[in-house]
Structure 1
Amino acid sequence: MGRWEPGARERLVVAAVDLFTEQGYDATTVAQIAERAGVTKSTFFRHFPDKRELLVAGQETLSRLLAEGIADAPGDASPLEAVAAGLERASAAMGPGSRELAPRLKAAVAASAELQERDALKTVSLAAAMTTALVARGVPDPTAALAGELGVLAFKRGYARWAEDDRGAEDGLAGYALAALDELRAASASLG
């Protein structure tokens, strides 16, 4: 496969996750990732500043989609209804390839403290994007922050269930994320 063929970014992510799973994050080099993806090291560095950034490749897009969904929610939507709209928008971007990659990605993150740290930073960033979008809708800051945190937790729980479910690939992430949000809404109501 030539280095100029489309999909280099996606091939790099898949190659990295596979290598991280096979031989560990620390033992994997940028050169190995580039070779597995069928690109040069310079192509790697055109897409990513370092190998750590591969696992958060879609974070900016995900944050943007969550915020756009919240912004586009009906004006009378409650904070959690707006979060649900954000989850639906972001979930639409996650297709079968994301679902297939999820178990390997989970294993790679679980095996590396550095990747766990990067994953935690991603979570904070997603919550901040949702909180900012809610505040822009006029939601008071404490309520927006809580709704944003619940949104991230719902996304992560829904994503994990979606990735582990053995139903057909046509089952979208949105249903899983929204079900997780409903569970969290009920759980928070029971806190008293």
Structure 2
Amino acid sequence: MSRWEPNARGRLEQAALELYGERGFEQTTVADIAQRAGLTERTFFRHYADKREVLFGGAASLQEALVSTLAAAPAAAAPIDAVAAALGTAADLFGERHAFARRRHRVIVANADLRERELIKLADLSAALADGLRARGVADPAASLAAEAGVAVFKVAFERWIEESGERDVAEVIRESLAELKVVMAGG
């Protein structure tokens, strides 16, 4: 193996998803992932803390993008509309990654510990959005409710999107899901 390999992170991600799909998450080791990617375990640990982080490594980027978009929303925007604007940012991050997202979701759904980690990630995202709303002057409980509702919309929309063919933009599915929530809240 050479000392430096291009796209090591992407290769590790691809190898991990292949192995998780073939063997299952629990039966796959870091050594297996590194070997499949044609890299060393040391290279793996330069990119990821453990084999779970291959699946959750983008959580911080997603949270950062959503919070910064929330902060940039028009001051007059209602809290849920500011959250909706933030959620629209997800389209930029998931764009051409439909197949990856679908495979990732299947691995997570098949493992209780990974489902728990996913819920923690969503709770962290909700807390960050609520903090962002409070920074915009939205008082509680409105800030917490809008953030939690936004994360629920994101979760439902994301699951709908990965079950589809991938032809539609995730932002479109998020907008539809938000519209459905507003209908439900209006008593429709």
Q: Which residue of 2 aligns with 1:117?
A: 116
1:108 alignment partner in structure 2: 107
Report deviation, 1:56.
Answer: 0.8
Aligned residues: 188
Report if the CA contact (8 A) 1:70-1:130 is conserved: yes
Aligned match of 2:74 = 74
Flag the 1:84–1:49 CA change in 2: closer, same or farther, 3 A: same
Task: Give the whole-Å Cα distance in 1 for the aligned partners of 2:63 and 2:128.
Answer: 6
Matches within 5 A, 1:21-170: 21-96=21-96, 98-166=97-165, 168=167
Q: Distance in 1 between matches of 2:6 and 2:150?
A: 33
RMSD: 1.8
Q: Check whether the contact 1:15–1:36 (CA below 8 A) recurs between aligned residues.
A: yes
Identity %: 44
Q: In structure 2, list runs of 5 or more residues that go unmatched.
A: none
Instruction: State the partner residue of 1:177.
Output: 174
Runs of 4+ with >2 A deviation: 1-7, 188-191
Displacement after TM superposition at 1:175 (Å): 0.8
Deviates more, 1:3-12 or 1:127-136: 3-12
Equivalent residues of 1:71, 1:137 under 8 A apart: yes
Determine the C-alpha separation between the residues in 1 that align with 2:129 and 2:5. Answer: 35
Give the TM-score, by structure 1 length.
0.90
Question: 1:178–1:22: structure 2 CA closer, same or farther, 3 Å change rule?
Answer: same
The CA deviation string for residues 70-90 of structure 1, in whole angstroms up to 9 with x for no partner, is 100011000011011101123
Structure 1 residue 33: deviation in Å? 0.9
The CA deviation string for residues 75-127 of structure 1, in whole angstroms up to 9 with x for no partner, is: 1000011011101123211121x211122112211211111111111111111
Deviation at 1:3, TM superposition (A): 6.2
- CA separation of 1:31 and 1:176: change in aligned 2, threshold 3 A: same
Please list every run of 5 or more consecutive structure 1 residues that lacks an aligned counterpart in the other structure. none
1:2, distance to aligned residue in structure 2 (A): 5.5
Q: Quick one: distance in 2 between partners of 1:10 and 1:155? A: 25
In the alignment, is the contact (CA less than 8 A) between 2:17 and 2:103 conserved in 1?
yes
Task: Mark the CA change 1:167 to 1:25 in structure 2 (over 3 Å): closer, same or farther.
Answer: closer
Task: Report the TM-score, using the length of structure 2 for normalisation.
Answer: 0.92
Confirm or deny: 8 A CA contact 2:98 2:166 kept in the other structure: no
